[in-house]
Amino acid sequence: MDEIKNTNKELIISSDVSEVNIVLLEDKQLVEFHKEQKNNSISVGDVYLGRIKKILPGLNAAFVDIGCRKDAFLHYLDLGPQILSLRKFTKSAESGDTAQLNMDHFELEKDTSKSGKISDILAVGDRIPVQIAKEPINTKGPRISSDISFAGRYIVLVPFSNRISVSQKIRSSEERRRLKLLIQSIKPNNFGVIIRTVAEGKKVAELDADLKTLLNKWETMTNVMNGSKNPCKLISELDRTSVVLRDLLNESFNGIYVNDANLYEEIKSYISTIAPQKKDILKYHRSKENIFAEFGVDKQIASLFGRVVTIRNGVYLIIEHTEAMHVIDVNSGHRVNKEQSQEENALSVNLEAAVEIARQLRLRDMGGIIIVDFIDMQSAANRKQLFDKLKEEMSKDRARHSILPASKFGLIQITRQRVRPETEIIVQEECPTCKGTGKIKPSSLLIDEIENNLRYLLLDQNEKSITIKVHPFIYAYLTKGFFSIRRKWQWKYHKKITIKEAKSFHIMQYNFLNKNGEDILL
């Protein structure tokens, strides 16, 4: 735990017209990548007023119309024990019975059994508030639950319950008792509370402020639901950026960088609310250079999201995806230590791979069944050591997961919570020069092409000065010698011409910039 606390964390946020990309760095190493579409209509945590469209007795489940393109799936076990109380409250809200909407005086119904039937509780046409548990994945619609809860920074609010629970990660019995007493003194009737790990050591004022925020959410939802007849969204969860900050922001954070002015102000306001002592670590990235490139994130993304992931010393992973599961194969490559036996070499490679695998699962947000094929080891003690190492690394993962011990064949099975589609980034690029044909235009014509475009910009468009970005090889060709091609162009057109090398460009690529450093589109 000390190692985790001492880790330096940085959050890099890149926003453009269509999406927000959020990157978490731990000691400059990329560990989490979140992608949020700005027009995404369904997010985990959103609450909808749904209408039961179809009952499936064989599955003990129902399809629910929530006003989106795909019907949502609701299983009996996702109804929650307080479903009868929720239905009673919903009917009161629809009828406008304000007296029954006062939770202090609301009479809770009896909890339902875990072995009941959904057809005994719900019928086609019934309306009920539901919460998104899993976003739509591939052809499947969203998975929903009527066991509604609202997550805050320090607590989780659970309506129609009076139970107070404390995170098991808070080990001190004295602290657990203190937190329970504090919550009991401020909690309204008919609301349960789950105390989160980050609440450890917090004062009653901080807990009370968090509680009031969540109660306001509940009141907002109730007001929208009052009189609503059609399926609709009742309340939205925080955007992905705020959720990441809410769940991760702690003393180990030493920097949050964002490239969008509006988003910067929103985050600044949110941090001032949840952690005012950390507002100074928020920085606005004003540079024209891509924020991911400046922090070295682009290179890490390119190296970590491919089919083959190289670790070090020749060790690499091969990651394959199927409909049913994910498969990860561990390979030692040319890694051989002559001073160690084959068994010792296998253990060394497997332990290194375990660290990277735990990182890859977080990074790609891989969920469902994951099978890892480690290098075979004969020793049961070594397999136990590998299992313990993987569990230790996976303990940093916030998603629910389960790990089985290694089999005799070196296979370890992992199940990991899947609530949204896996993060996929295409790192293999189409050749920009040949476009997949295997042939390029004659390189001898490149300089003529550049000059033709240069002539057009300087003479026809009347640009006062031009900067040309080219591949380093072309840069050397255009600038070598006293009577270089660049100097000849300057004398010819009587304009200032600057040539810069761009190491990321391919050999036939070039770009023009105006005097303000802005790209010129041809």
Cβ neighbour number for residue 194 with a 10 Å cutoff: 19
Closest CA to 86 of 220, 211, 216, 222: 222
Looking at domain 305-416, its CATH architecture is 3-Layer(aba) Sandwich (3.40)
Residue count of the chain: 522
Structure confidence at residue 121 (pLDDT): 92
Residues forming a β-bridge with 355: none
Domains of the chain: which residue ranges?
2-40+241-289, 47-235, 305-416, 443-513
Determine which of 192-196, 383-387, 420-424, 465-469 has the lowest per-residue pLDDT on average. Answer: 420-424
| Total-model pTM | 0.63
Cβ neighbour number for residue 342 with a 10 Å cutoff: 12
Instruction: Report the percent of the chain where pLDDT is more than 70.
Output: 89
Is the pLDDT at 41 greater than 90? The verdict is no
Domain 2-40+241-289 has CATH 3.30.1360.70: no
User: pLDDT for 56-114, tens place per residue?
Assistant: 999 999 999 988 888 899 999 999 899 999 998 888 877 766 656 778 888 888 988 88
Structure confidence at residue 365 (pLDDT): 85
d(CA 417, CA 365) in angstroms, rounded, equals 9
| φ, ψ (nearest 5 deg) of residue 220 | -60, -45
d(CA 362, CA 399) in angstroms, rounded, equals 8
Secondary structure, 3-state, 25-86 = EECCEEEEEEEEECCCCCCCCCEEEEEEEEEECCCCEEEEECCCCCCEEEEHHHCCCCHHHH
Q: Which helix H or strand E contains 157, and what residues bound it?
A: strand 155-159
Output the six-digit token pair for 339: 């001073």
User: pLDDT for 404-441, tens place per residue?
Assistant: 998 877 899 999 987 666 666 665 666 666 666 667 76
Cβ neighbour number for residue 21 with a 10 Å cutoff: 20
d(CA 174, CA 170) in angstroms, rounded, equals 10
- Name which CATH class applies to 47-235: mainly beta
From residue 358, alpha-carbon distances to 82, 98, 326, 502 in Å are: 36, 50, 13, 35
Given a contact cutoff of 8 angstroms between Cβ atoms, the answer to whether 80 and 118 are in contact is: no
User: pLDDT for 337-346, tens place per residue?
Assistant: 666 788 888 8
Structure confidence at residue 448 (pLDDT): 86
Output the six-digit token pair for 170: 């808070």
d(CA 212, CA 206) in angstroms, rounded, equals 10
- Judge whether 2-40+241-289 and 305-416 match in fold: no
Is the pLDDT at 334 greater than 70? The verdict is no
